[in-house]
Structure 1
Amino acid sequence: MKSIYITLIAATCFVGQSYSQQAKAWNNWYFGWFAAMTFNSGTPVDVTGSNMISMEGSASYSDDNGQLLFYTNGGKGDSGFPPPGAVWNRNNQIMPNGDLLYAAGCSSSPQSSLIIPKTGTTTYYLYTMGCVGAMTGLRESIIDMSLDNGLGDLTQVGTQISATTSLSEGLTATKHANGTDYWIITHDYWGNNFYVYPHTSAGIGTPTTYSVGGSSNIHGQIKISASGKVIACGEEVFTFNNATGAITNPRSIGRSAWGRSFSPSGRFLYVTGALGVGNLYQYDLEASNLAASEIEILGGGVFTGPMQLGPDGKIYVAINGNQSVSVINSPENGGAACNFGLYQVALTASCQLGLPNFMDSYYYELHPTSAYLEENQFAFEIYPNPASSTIRLKSEASISEIRICSIAGTVLQTLGSNEVSTEIDCSDLQAGTYFVQVISDQGTAVKELVIQ
């Protein structure tokens, strides 16, 4: 038996307690013209009663038990699109101050809205994005679910965040490598500038601009893989550093796209044709020539739209104006083996050209044993290992938190930075194998711990 070794695993403890509030955050999807479905039974089931009206983008959020809290289309948009722009509560009523109108984003953006919780509170940040017809830029609203007898209300509506309103329609985010904070990413409308915003418990910070990749009119979604390591935008994919926010290493897929989604492991990228009128393609990010790895999954010019990874590890594809959602059932398989199902999930309402905008990093809370192998970002030692009752940790990194997890990824102990230099009591752990995750200023690392 090895005494100490690095274990390459999915971010097993990466989800930890900081993620516990988000395990079922994405269980209820509200989108399109009155369309909705829930994953609370494990597979998507049609839901009626929604008052959502959205041409494209939306967002929704649920509590720890999978109960819907609220949903939004992000804003009215320009005069060519129907009202209202709003935030609806779980009773499908517009919150008292939830009339967004022109004060926020645009429902004809594929990522019109994005929700980030303020950990340990009833507060949620709602970020909205404009569209080509109504360039409002990145804006912030704040929802407090303790108001209106627990149904929620807005305490802030449409505060301008971005220095410019000339942004593309993409809006995405992912967890920071520290497991607590976030990165929010936007892109300019005509250029090669990414704007990467840090988001902490204090709220959104000042963005860093990364001028990288081709300069073009950027359409459609911006997506980050569930691991937080790869970002797709325009005709390219890039390396994303979820510890620093840096975007580097552009690689071209060789075509314009609108909808984008990564497989859970991040190996395969799926895109739908430019402006949604086109086919569905798959790319293998392990290929030396990314563009040459292209495989057509769906042809015939079907009016495909944005995509979203689901809690079940499948990728859902919007088909314009159809009373169904299409599904990539086995996204980790290459070519036809990805098992694409056209019009697979029946709806009582119309899908339109959008699905809710969720952070794919939610996926690791529900699937801690995912196939993705997360490389440790720094070195640390556990001693003794195997252990019987206590352990100590040694690292040159500045450690902020330690988590001891079961082999299945359940967090059993969480320890603060002040406990790093002392003996850690493991006497309550039964004999067996565990994982120790350490979060530091240099990122996240995991090792195996054996208790005798």
Structure 2
Amino acid sequence: MAQQEATNWYFGNYAGLSFASGSPVALLDGAMSTMEGVATISNSSGILLFYTDGQTIWNRQHQIMTNGTGLWGHSSSTQSGVIVKKPGSNNIFYVFTVDEVATGGIHGVCYSIVDMNLSGGLGAVTSKNIELVPNSNATEKITAVKHSNGTDIWVLTHGWNNNQFLAFKVTSSGINSTPIISNAGQIHSGINRHRAGYMKSSPNGSYIALTMYDYGDAELVEMVKFNPSNGTVSTDVKCFADYIPSAYGVEFSPDNTKLYASGAKDNGKIYQYNLSLPNGTSIVAGKTVIASNGNYAAMQVAIDGKIYVTRYNVQFLSCINSPNLNGIACNFTENNVSLGGRTATFGLPTFIQSFFVSVQAFSNSPVCQGNTIHLYCVAAGASSYYWTGPAGFTSTLQNPSIANAQPYNSGVYTVTAFSSGGNSATSQVSVVVNPNPNITLGPDTTICENSWIVLSPGSGFQSYLWNTGSTQSSIIVNSPGNYSVIVMDANGCSASDSKWVYTKPAPGPILIKHR
């Protein structure tokens, strides 16, 4: 039930593969020769739309698309581009490009816009080379994955001379050119060649893996944590930094439990990291060599659930046939997919990684008590759905909701998606319902004229807003009226309370009569 947008691949020296039949078949009609990066996109039925090396875009007839030259990517950039369809649109596509910054390119990360309604349905570039990241902060790494709402897309890249991850949100309104910037993992710096190397998100968007390429025996492979609900990158107990020979390519298994990393020179190997182990230390210690013949470059999972591996100037792709399985059971086979006489180079197409999840559950978690939980299921080819969850929840809707959510609705929700042919796949999503703050200003009260009282809902909240306009945690009241406050806690949940303050005349002086 993987998505058909990744049915067709074009790469290398006029090479290509079609997965339309379920198994890869060589395509000999490609018009592109590229040293490294490439991106390809098909429609939801698996019909080719266009492909690019980051400099030129070719349409489905393998002709240069109208206005499709002069893009600021490069055929010798590790990941020269990725193609993202605008959410909610059937015809607008964003082509993100990355220049060859490791070998002298002067541009950074840019995007161009393709309208497939133009040129008789063959598409045309309508806007070109809009800069998102300047050359000074660019590396040759880019990946894309769905937002946790199941609709929007995150496009991520990595900075230079820092440990910045820059996440650009793509919505039905377009591209937010102000990225979510996170500092996590290792600093990428040194010689310019270190700006090369792949970056991939796991299909479910939970982790990001990337390399820092060089020729030596100990080059960086790292994995960091990604939050697809807000675009932030961090580290957790599973994250790690490791060093392998000539680190270049990375790829996750479709079930998100394995990470593979490759070395692109003669000393290169392919390593499998078992992400089911408890922490980063054990994951690194337990890595397995599954191939050791050298010159393993790009790796890309396909819609058949296998991972394909390119070796420079070879007329075949190698394959990890069962990438979800541990160790040598993953069944790596060398040079077993013929390219029909065409040759591979260093690159394979970069796609939105969410294409390769058979079924994926999302939610708008975390939510506050009293709000609505929205559950989403993305499952290409599914015809029916069955959800279960806490407090006896069940639903047969694809995207159900739970109104007036309470803390007891927190927990793991499971969806099983069924195809019309009887196949099924399952995914889970964790939902957190945070309780609202518990505050009180106390009962209504009366004070004497010309006196005062302090009102406070309590300390330690993230923000306060009184109907007097004050944003302090307490106010001093010396006049009658109704006073109210809204507080917000660190989870973004709010509560309010109000209190009447009345006044009464102050007692007069007491007269003491002297005899």
State TM-score, norm by structure 1. Answer: 0.76
- Picking from 75, 95, 98, the partner of 1:126 is 95
Match of residue 259 from structure 2: 269
What is the Cα deviation at residue 378 of structure 1? Answer: 4.1
- Picking from 58, 65, 69, the partner of 2:45 is 65
Q: Distance in 2 between the 1:359 and 1:403 partners?
A: 18
Amino acid at match of 2:14: F
- Is contact 1:36-1:48 (8 Å) kept? yes
Q: Secondary structure of 1:253's match?
A: strand
- Is contact 1:98-1:154 (8 Å) kept? yes
Q: Distance in 1 between the 2:94 and 2:375 partners?
A: 27
Q: Distance in 1 between the 2:291 and 2:337 partners?
A: 17
- Is contact 1:33-1:52 (8 Å) kept? yes
Q: Distance in 1 between the 2:304 and 2:377 partners?
A: 26
Task: List per-residue Cα deviations over 1:102-134 (Å, max 9, x = no partner).
Answer: x41111122111001123331111000112121
| TM alignment of 1:133-172, pairs within 5 A | 133=103, 134-172=105-143
Q: Secondary structure of 2:119's match?
A: coil
What is the Cα deviation at residue 66 of structure 1? Answer: 1.3
Match of residue 370 from structure 2: 396
- Is contact 2:149-2:376 (8 Å) kept? no
Amino acid at match of 1:323: Q
Match of residue 24 from structure 1: 4
- Is contact 2:163-2:187 (8 Å) kept? yes
Match of residue 49 from structure 1: 29
- Is contact 2:297-2:346 (8 Å) kept? yes
Note closer, same or farther for the CA distance 1:155–1:410 as it changes in structure 2 (3 Å cut): same
Note closer, same or farther for the CA distance 1:405–1:340 as it changes in structure 2 (3 Å cut): closer
- Is contact 1:220-1:306 (8 Å) kept? no
Match of residue 434 from structure 1: 396
Q: Distance in 1 between the 2:378 and 2:155 partners?
A: 28
Task: List per-residue Cα deviations over 1:63-82 (Å, max 9, x = no partner).
Answer: 1221111111112xxxxxxx
Q: Distance in 2 between the 1:359 and 1:104 partners?
A: 20
How many pairs are equivalent?
A: 377
Segment drifting more, 268-277 vs 193-202? 268-277
Work out whether 1:214 is the aligned partner of 2:207.
no
Match of residue 253 from structure 1: 242
Gaps of 5+ in 1: 1-14, 16-21, 76-85, 381-393, 414-431
Match of residue 335 from structure 1: 327
Note closer, same or farther for the CA distance 1:404–1:327 as it changes in structure 2 (3 Å cut): closer
What is the Cα deviation at residue 410 of structure 1? Answer: 2.9
- Is contact 2:384-2:398 (8 Å) kept? no
What is the Cα deviation at residue 277 of structure 1? Answer: 5.3
What is the Cα deviation at residue 262 of structure 1? Answer: 0.4
Q: Distance in 1 between the 2:78 and 2:6 partners?
A: 17
Note closer, same or farther for the CA distance 1:323–1:167 as it changes in structure 2 (3 Å cut): same
| TM alignment of 1:49-448, pairs within 5 A | 49-75=29-55, 86-100=56-70, 103-118=71-86, 119-131=88-100, 132-133=102-103, 134-205=105-176, 206-216=178-188, 217-234=194-211, 235-249=221-235, 250-255=239-244, 257-273=247-263, 278-287=268-277, 288=279, 289-300=282-293, 302-348=294-340, 349-364=342-357, 367-368=358-359, 378=365, 396-398=370-372, 409-410=382-383, 434=396, 437-438=399-400, 446=413
- Is contact 2:97-2:110 (8 Å) kept? yes
What is the Cα deviation at residue 146 of structure 1? Answer: 1.1
What is the Cα deviation at residue 402 of structure 1? Answer: 6.2
- Is contact 1:305-1:317 (8 Å) kept? yes
Q: Distance in 1 between the 2:335 and 2:156 partners?
A: 31
Q: Secondary structure of 2:204's match?
A: coil
Question: Which structure carries more relative contact order (alpha carbon 8 Å, separation 6+)?
Answer: 1
- Is contact 1:253-1:283 (8 Å) kept? no
Q: Secondary structure of 2:4's match?
A: coil
Q: Distance in 2 between the 1:105 and 1:293 partners?
A: 37
